[in-house]
Amino acid sequence: MIKVVFLGFGNVNSHLCRAMAESEQVSVMQVFNRTAMQLPKTLQAIPFTTQLSEIKEADVYILGIPDDAIESFSATLPLRDQLIVHTSGGVAMDALSNQNRMGVLYPLQTFSKQRTIALDKVPICIEASAPEDLGLLRQLGSTISEIVVEISSEERAKLHVSAVFVNNFVNYLYTVSEELLAKNHLNFELLKPLILETAHKIETLSPSEAQTGPAKRNDRKTIEKHVHLLKDSPYKELYTQLTQAIETTYGKKL
Ligand X SMILES: NC(=O)c1ccc[n+]([C@@H]2O[C@H](COP(=O)([O-])OP(=O)(O)OC[C@H]3O[C@@H](n4cnc5c(N)ncnc54)[C@H](OP(=O)(O)O)[C@@H]3O)[C@@H](O)[C@H]2O)c1
Q: Which of residues 174-233 bind ligand X (CB under 6 A)?
A: none
Nearest to 213 by CA among 175, 173, 162: 173
Nearer of residues 11 and 142 to ligand X, judged by Cβ: 11
Q: Which stretch binds ligand X (CB under 6 A): 104-112, 146-154, 185-193, 212-220?
A: 104-112
Query: Residue 145: CA atoms inside 13 Å, Cβ hemisphere, count?
Result: 23
CA-CA distances (angstroms) from residue 21 to 29, 35, 42, 48, 205? 10, 22, 9, 14, 37
> Judged by CB under 6 A, which stretch of 63-71, 137-145, 227-235, 237-245 contacts ligand X?
63-71
For residue 65, state whether it binds ligand X (rule: CB under 6 A): yes
Which CB sits closer to ligand X, 162 or 244? 162
Strand partners, 3: 27
Q: Is 10 in the site for ligand X (CB under 6 A)?
A: yes
141 contributes a contact to ligand X by CB under 6 A: no
Give the nearer residue to ligand X in terms of CB position, either 12 or 20. Answer: 12
**In the complex, least distance from residue 131 CB atom to ligand X, rounded to whole angstroms:** 24
Q: For ligand X, which residue of 49, 82, 110, 218 counts as binding (CB under 6 A)?
A: 110
Residue 32 makes contact with ligand X by CB under 6 A: no
Distance CA 239, CA 75 (A): 45
Residue closest to 246 by CA, chosen among 210, 205, 218 = 218
Instruction: State the Cα angle at 62 between 61 and 64, rounded to 5°.
Output: 145
| 60 close to 35: Cβ distance less than 8 angstroms | no
Report the alpha-carbon distance of residue 183 to residue 240 in Å, rounded.
20
For the beta carbon of residue 53, count every other beta carbon within 10 angstroms: 6
- Regarding 8 and contact with ligand X (CB under 6 A), the answer is yes
In one-letter notation, the amino acid at residue 139 is Q
Confirm or reject binding of residue 11 to ligand X (CB under 6 A): yes
Q: Given the complex with ligand X, which of 26 and 163 has the nearer CB atom?
A: 163
With CB under 6 A as the contact rule, the residue among 74, 87, 100, 243 that binds ligand X is: 87
| CB hemisphere CA count around 237 (13 angstroms) | 1
CB nearer to ligand X: give 12 or 159: 12
Q: Is 159 in the site for ligand X (CB under 6 A)?
A: no
**Which residues of this protein are in contact with ligand X, per CB under 6 A?**
8-13, 33-35, 64-67, 69, 73, 86-89, 106-107, 110-111
